[in-house]
Every structure is written in structure tokens, then in C-alpha cells.
């Protein structure tokens, strides 16, 4: 099963993608996580990506597509995957579609997690990410067992630099201009499914499970 997660920054794509990955036994592939890991390790890719990420802008398509295609070519992606944060532009979606078509394959579901902009700003200021393993929490909605400490690895929880309000506003503008058109793209392919992302994360997941079967 090959799944694409769509939705604004902070809509809950990552939260849901992790649950889908666990439930269906497929890898969770997040381009944002791949970029952040490279930033943390100080690689050339990380340095290039960081300049864009800090401004809330998109990393150029050519670089992003290369990273993503390398990742999904790995053995563990053979039986499917859930893509989180990719594609984010029409050209990215077109390249992915062309690569899959070459393999006689296609995306099975594009899950659009729908959350209005007003909710997003509030949600992002409460997001905390683990510096160790990248796990995400929310100080009110999805709190860790112990404040400031990751349940999974004991790492420190921080507010991501790009989750500060000014950057979030720019990311939302970028989302509406460049990523939202993917809703029409995947509607055209007959695979778009929209779920209400404003409800509790367990209820969002229940709605997704009823779509995926
Ligand atoms: P969120 O879902 O909270 O917006 P991500 O972790 O998916 O955040 O992405 C963080 C940043 O990484 C983005 O703002 C962008 O700069 C970069 N990025 C991630 N995925 C892509 C992509 N597919 N294309 C371009 N840039 C990307
Ligand atoms: P995305 O990957 O789309 O950027 P995340 O999954 O990181 O979004 O979620 C953004 C923030 O909102 C995180 O702090 C997360 O814990 C929280 N969150 C996720 N789903 C919900 C939900 N259904 N209700 C409230 N908060 C949520
Ligand atoms: Zn952790």
C-alpha cells in the first residue's frame, strides 16, 4: 500500500503517518525528518536544506525529489510506504507519478488531513519535538509523560525553530500557494480522501482506518 499524506503544516500528518506505519507494517517516510537528520549531522545536504527551512520556504524540488526517490528505492519500501511531507509541489507529484508509472505502480491513497489555518497557528506553538529521535508531542493535546522529556528515548523536547509564529505564517502561505493544488491533482487520479483533522488524534486515525480497510 502506497499512501501520501496531505495537509497544512501542523495538520497532524506526522502523527497519523506514524500510526499508519505501525498499523499496516510499512515505513513512515518524512522528507522533513530526513532533512532535520542531515541538519543535525551537519551534512552538505543538511546545510543546503537548512537555509530554506529556517525561512519556512521549500527546499528546491530537484534536491528533494532526489532524496525521496533514493529513500523509496530501499528494500524496506518494497511493499509500500506512507509519505509524509512529500510531495509538496505539483512538479514533485509529477515526478513521483512518472517513476511509479514506470514500475507499473501508483499511489493508492492520498489522505488529506483538513485543519483550518486558525487552528494551525495555535497547534504549532504547542508542538514539541525530541532532539534525540524526532518524536513529536503537543504540550496540551498530546503531552509526554514527563514534561520536556521524550517518552520514547528520554531526549530533550524543544520548540522547532521553524515553529515560531512568524515562520509558521510563511509556511502556511507557502502551503496554500504550492501544496494545496495537490488536492486537485490527487482528486484527478481518483485517490483523494479527506478526513477532519480538528478532532482528537485517535478519532482522526479511526477515520483513516475506515478508509484504508
Ligand atoms: P511540517 O509538516 O510541520 O510543515 P516538515 O517536517 O514536513 O514540516 O517540513 C519542514 C521543512 O522541511 C519544510 O518547511 C521545508 O522547508 C522542508 N521540506 C520538507 N519536505 C519538503 C518537500 N517535499 N519539498 C520541499 N521542502 C520540504
Ligand atoms: P504535521 O506533520 O502535519 O506538521 P504533526 O503531526 O507534527 O503535524 O502535528 C502538529 C502538532 O499538533 C503536534 O504538536 C502534534 O502533537 C499535535 N497534534 C497532532 N494531531 C492532533 C490532533 N488531532 N489534535 C490536536 N493536536 C494534534
Ligand atoms: Zn525521543
Q: Please indicate, yes or no, if residue 18 is contained in any of the structural domains.
A: yes
Which pLDDT belongs to residue 104?
A: 95
* Residue 32, domain member (yes or no): yes
The answer to whether position 111 is within a domain reads yes
User: Is 105 within a domain?
Assistant: yes
What separation in Å is there between the alpha carbon of 104 and the centre of ligand 2?
34
Q: Is residue 137 situated within a structural domain?
A: no
Q: Which ligand is nearest to the CA of 136?
A: 2
pTM equals 0.96
Residue numbers annotated as active site: 13, 88, 127, 160, 171
**pLDDT tens digits, residue range 95-130?**
999 999 999 999 999 999 999 999 999 899 999 999
* Integer Cα distance of 27 and 108 in angstroms: 15
Exposure class string for 69-98: b at 16+ Cβ within 10 A, else e:
eebbeeeeeeebbbbbbbbbbeebbebbbe
Percent of the chain at pLDDT exceeding 90: 97
Question: Is the residue at 142 inside a domain?
Answer: no
User: Furthest-apart CA pair in the chain: how many Å?
Assistant: 48
Any domain includes 152: no
* CA-nearest residue, atom 5 of ligand 1: 32
Q: Which of 4, 3, 17 is nearest to 204 (CA)?
A: 17
Q: Which CATH number characterizes residue 23's domain?
A: 3.40.50.300
User: Count of domains in the chain?
Assistant: 1
Question: What pLDDT shows up at residue 158?
Answer: 96
Residue of minimum CA distance from atom 20 in ligand 2: 12
* Residue minimizing CA distance to atom 12 of ligand 1: 32
Across the range 63-70, mean pLDDT stands at 97
Determine the Cα–Cα distance for residues 99 and 146; give it in Å rounded to an integer.
Answer: 44
* Average pLDDT over the chain, rounded to an integer: 96
Cα distance between residue 135 and residue 117, in whole Å:
23
Ligand 2 atom closest to 124 (CA) = 11
133 domain residue, yes or no = no
Q: How far is the CA of 110 from the centre of ligand 3 (A)?
A: 28
Residue 132: predicted pLDDT: 92
Q: What is the pLDDT of residue 112?
A: 98
* Mean pLDDT score, 186-190: 98
**Counting atoms of ligand 2 from 1, which one is nearest the CA of 197?**
23
Domain of 33, in residue numbers: 2-116+167-212
Amino acid at each position: 500500500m502506497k499512501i501520501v499524506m496531505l495537509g497544512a503544516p501542523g495538520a497532524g500528518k506526522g502523527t497519523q503517518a506514524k500510526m499508519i506505519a505501525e498499523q499496516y507494517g510499512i515505513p513512515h517516510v518524512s522528507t522533513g525528518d530526513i532533512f532535520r537528520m542531515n541538519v543535525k549531522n551537519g551534512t552538505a545536504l543538511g546545510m543546503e536544506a537548512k537555509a530554506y527551512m529556517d525561512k519556512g520556504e521549500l527546499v528546491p524540488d530537484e534536491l528533494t525529489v532526489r532524496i525521496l526517490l533514493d529513500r523509496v528505492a530501499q528494500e524496506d519500501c518494497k511493499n509500500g510506504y506512507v509519505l509524509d511531507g512529500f510531495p509538496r509541489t505539483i512538479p514533485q507529484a509529477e515526478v513521483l507519478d512518472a517513476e511509479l508509472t514506470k514500475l507499473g505502480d501508483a499511489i493508492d491513497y492520498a489522505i488529506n488531513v483538513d485543519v483550518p489555518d486558525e487552528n494551525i497557528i495555535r497547534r504549532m506553538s504547542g508542538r514539541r519535538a525530541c532532539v534525540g529521535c524526532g518524536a513529536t508531542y503537543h504540550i496540551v493535546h498530546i503531552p509526554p509523560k514527563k514534561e520536556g522529556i521524550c517518552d520514547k528515548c528520554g531526549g530533550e523536547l524543544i520548540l522547532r525553530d521553524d515553529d515560531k509564529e512568524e515562520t509558521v505564517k510563511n509556511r502556511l502561505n507557502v502551503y496554500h500557494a504550492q501544496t494545496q493544488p495537490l488536492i486537485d491533482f490527487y482528486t484527478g487520479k481518483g485517490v483523494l480522501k479527506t478526513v477532519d483533522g480538528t478532532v482528537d488524534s485517535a478519532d482522526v486515525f479511526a477515520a483513516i482506518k475506515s478508509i484504508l480497510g
